[in-house]
């Protein structure tokens, strides 16, 4: 009897379009791609890579997301004015409940791991 298999993430997959909703875009014409490469049976935890061209849009996180940038530079700003800038090599967590903006300053690519709590 075999148990669960290890999942190897592949950053060279093509992915699929995952552009922000037009009503959320504040500047630029961000073009995003997503390659979700693992999801647990409950669909609460999933991971893969995401990439985007430059632009800025509103975000409202219902999930907890761990990000590791391996290309580019981004800026997050909360509705109360706090700002964070990250570049290739940085890792950070965006907690559920974060509301603000996500801005891609230089085309970026990141690994993500997301946990979506049950409502």
pTM of the model: 0.92
pLDDT (tens digit per residue) in 96-107: 999 999 999 999
pLDDT (tens digit per residue) in 32-77: 999 999 999 999 999 999 999 999 999 999 999 999 999 999 999 9
Segment holding 99, helix H or strand E:
strand 99-115
- How is the chain split into domains, by residue range? 17-115
Q: Which two tokens stand for residue 57?
A: 């849009």
Question: Does pLDDT of 119 surpass 80?
Answer: no
Residue 118 has what pLDDT?
Answer: 87
Q: 91 burial class (0-12, 13-18, 19+ CB within 10 angstroms)?
A: exposed
At the topology level, CATH places domain 17-115 in Jelly Rolls (2.60.120)
Q: What are phi and psi of 23, to 5 degrees?
A: -70, -15
Residue 1 has what pLDDT?
Answer: 63
> What is residue 24's DSSP assignment?
G
Residue 11 has what pLDDT?
Answer: 85
**112 three-state secondary structure:** strand
């Amino acid at each position: 009897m075999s148990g669960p298999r290890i999942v190897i993430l592949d950053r060279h997959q093509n992915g699929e379009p995952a552009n922000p909703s037009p009503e959320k875009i504040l500047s630029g014409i961000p073009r995003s791609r997503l390659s979700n490469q693992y999801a647990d049976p409950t669909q609460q935890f999933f991971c893969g890579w995401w990439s985007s061209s430059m632009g800025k849009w509103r975000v409202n996180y219902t999930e907890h997301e761990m990000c590791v940038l391996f290309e580019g530079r981004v800026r997050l700003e909360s509705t109360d004015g706090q700002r964070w800038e990250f570049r290739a090599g940085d890792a950070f967590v965006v907690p559920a409940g974060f509301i603000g903006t996500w801005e891609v300053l230089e085309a970026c690519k990141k690994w993500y791991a997301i946990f979506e709590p049950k409502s």
